[in-house]
Structure formats: C-alpha cells, structure tokens
Amino acid sequence: MGVWVVPSHKHSMRKYVVVLIVLSLLPGVPTATSEDDHRSPPSEPISTNGTAGIFSDEFDDDVNLTLDGQMIVRDGMLTLDPVRLMEDGFNRSDVAPWTVTGGSPTLVDGRLHLNSSTGVNDTVTRAIDHDDIKLSVWMNFTTYGTGGPFITFKFEDKSLRYLYDYGAEEMILQVIEPGGNVIVIDDGGSAIREDLEFSFRACVEDDEPLFHIQQQWSPSYAPNWRFWPYEFNRTGNVTEIELGCWGGADGYLEDLEVVDLGSEGTALSPIIDLPPGCIWDEGYASGYWDFHDDAGVVSFVDADTGDDIPGYRMNSYFASDLQGIDIFKHPSIRIKVWFWLVGSTVPYLHHWSISWRPGAPCGWIPSTT
C-alpha cells in the first residue's frame, strides 16, 4: 500500500488530501441501507489505475472538523452537548434552591429523599422559565405502597403531571386544568420493581407528552419513548417543576438534569478536492437519531459557497450515490451534519466518508486558478 498526496487544485492554502492506494483489484464500496446502523464503515474503493480513493473520519478528535452551536466530539461520536437549564446532584444538606411545599424532604449523600408513608406527601418545587424541555433523573424507591413518585411541569394556565401508580403498575398522565379539574390518562404498562434504580425522562414538547423509563433489571425494558394521544395546548413556558411522591411511597431521587430541547449544532468536514480523472462516487454516514426524522440531516455542500448541493441529503445511516454531482460545478465539496434536540435520545454520528472513482470526461483536468 502506498500513499498518494494530492495538492489542492483549486484552493492553494488548503491542506493536502491523502489518498490510500492499493495495487490490487478488490470490491468497491458497499451500499449501506436504512435497516443497518451497526455495519462496518465502507472499505476503500479500489481502482487498477490508482486514482480511486476515500476521505473518512471516525471522530477520534475534532482536528479536521468545523463545529458550531452545541455540536461536540465525545467518545468517538459527533453529537450535541445540549444547553443545560438546570442541574442538581443534591450534594449538600439544604434542600434549597428547591422550595418545600409538602412534608419533610431531606438531602443525604447526594440524594433527595421523599416519603409519603406518614400520610403526608413530600413535595418540592423549583422555578424555571422555558418552553420545550427534557427532564432526566435517577430514582430508587424501596417502598411504593399503592403510589410512587411523580413529576409535575407547571404552566401559566395548567399543569402536566407524570405519576407512577404502583397498584395499577402503570405511569399515569394527569392534566390539571384551571379550577383544579384533573384529566387522567394511563399508559397501560410500565411496571417497576421495588428497590431497583431506574432512570426517568420526561419531555414537554409541541404540546405532546412523552416519557421513558429504564430499570436496571431489564436492559431492554421500555426501550422507546411513549406518547399519549393528548394535546394539552398549554399557554406559555414551563414556570415551575415539582418533584414528589404519594400513596405510601418512600425513596430518593439523584442526578437531575433539565436541558433545552431547542439545542442544535452543525459540523463541517475539511474541504475534499476531487483528483484529476475522477468523479464523486458515494457518501456514507453511520449514526442514530430517534423518532423525529428532522432531528438530523447529513448533506453535501459546495466548498466555495457553503450551499447544499440539491438532491444529496441523507438520514442517519444511509449511503448516498454521488455520481450525479456535476464535477465541473462542484470539484470540491464538504460533508455537513445538522442536529437538533427534539426529544428522545441525543443524536450522534460515529462515521462519515466520501469516495471517488475514475470516470471523468476524457482529458478533463481540475481548474488550478
């Protein structure tokens, strides 16, 4: 295997593009499908005349990337670092800045302890002023009685409460309307075992309630976010968050975090210059974002203008045929990804690449001006 260093033919100040040359005939780039997000990255495209090649990045660092907004490189992934609106590890003795609104909650060893076994529900509240948010917290309740923990998002005109009912073995959504009228919607499942830690995540987004529960004893339990078919049409932002328990429950919460669902960011690859005698072949991206198709877009942009090349966009783990790109208009391109946190898990990519192969019109040589 040799190394061919191709100087920039259009941008004199750019870094060189390194192309790996293999002097044997091997299969070309495999085609990824939307059904497989864990396949290996494509192999290097090979040509007998030594002009095919590939640019590839597995995000070991951010040296070759231009990042903007909340986009970061972490643990071999290109992902978002969401804007944090509230973080609490409960590593203190005073409940403040939470306000006690019921019972006698306490903080011990980095945990907010809540108890309702005395007949009085422990509850705390904390002010916030934001639109779409996601709350994540770890919980462990040694006793449930007939009840469990609950989390309430309060708005100007009504409240939205996620309440666990141990007797019914299900998460219940309560919409508390002006005047105190309560609309109850159950989710029909979500059993939780006593004395085992679980993560709870809830979102307020576009008037659609959704939540996710994951307990230690079952890695595959409740793997997806759950929606309620109810639009509560709230007014204004979330003004207050309430934490509490009811029905004889006794347990604790830890590591609470609230993030902005409007967090977004972009990343750009280095400029990739097409070698003489070649055409663009395939673009590839491997990663994941959840149920919102618009949570991420991978596109190919012109290196000079920064504009998307029309018709060449990909979802999270697709291969895209780039052979139709006009090499006269776009002899140099970049890969771009845009992420937007709209709920569920944080989106990420762990690989992207662009390949090229022989096939340019006879005698064509890239411009050197």
* Structure confidence by residue, pLDDT tens digits, 122-136: 999 999 999 888 899
* Structure confidence at residue 195 as a pLDDT band (50, 70, 90): low
| Mean pLDDT on 274-297 | 81
68 pLDDT above the threshold of 90: yes
| Mean pLDDT on 18-37 | 30
138 pLDDT above the threshold of 60: yes
* Structure confidence at residue 206 as a pLDDT band (50, 70, 90): low
Within the chain, all domains assigned CATH 2.60.120.200 are found at 84-260
Which CATH superfamily is 2-81+263-358 part of?
A: Galactose-binding domain-like (2.60.120.260)
- Rounded Cα gap, residues 336 and 301, in angstroms: 7
* Structure confidence at residue 96 as a pLDDT band (50, 70, 90): very high
Cβ atoms of 211 and 226 within 8 Å: the answer is yes
More confident residue, 347 or 301: 301
Q: What is the pLDDT of residue 89?
A: 96
Lowest mean pLDDT among 130-134, 168-172, 277-281: 168-172
- Rounded Cα gap, residues 296 and 299, in angstroms: 10
- CB-neighbour burial class of residue 318 (10 A; exposed 0-12, middle 13-18, buried 19+): middle
Q: What is the pLDDT of residue 38?
A: 34
Query: What's this model's pTM, rounded to 2 decimal places?
Result: 0.70
More confident residue, 151 or 288: 151
Q: What is the pLDDT of residue 226?
A: 58
* Structure confidence at residue 188 as a pLDDT band (50, 70, 90): low
Q: What is the mean pLDDT of the chain?
A: 77
41 pLDDT above the threshold of 80: no
192 pLDDT above the threshold of 60: yes
184 pLDDT above the threshold of 80: yes
Report the b/e string of 83-105 with b at 16+ CB within 10 A. Answer: bebbebebeeeebeebeeebbeb
Within the chain, all domains assigned CATH 2.60.120.260 are found at 2-81+263-358
330 pLDDT above the threshold of 50: yes
282 pLDDT above the threshold of 60: yes
21 pLDDT above the threshold of 60: no
| Mean pLDDT on 17-21 | 29
User: What's the CA angle centered on 71, arms 66 and 72, to 5 degrees?
Assistant: 85
- Report the CATH fold assignment for 84-260: Jelly Rolls (2.60.120)
Q: What is the pLDDT of residue 262?
A: 81
Residue 52: strand, helix, or coil: coil
* Torsion of Cα atoms, 69 then 75 then 77 then 78, to 10°: 10
Query: Phi, psi (5° rounding) for residue 230?
Result: -145, 125
Lowest mean pLDDT among 59-68, 152-161, 248-257, 337-346: 337-346
Q: What is the pLDDT of residue 225?
A: 52
The top-scoring range by mean pLDDT among 42-51, 134-143, 196-205 is 134-143
| Mean pLDDT on 91-108 | 96
How many Cβ atoms from other residues are within 10 Å of residue 60's Cβ? 9
Encode pLDDT of 234-272 as tens digits: 778 899 999 999 999 999 999 999 998 888 999 999 999
Q: What is the pLDDT of residue 320?
A: 85
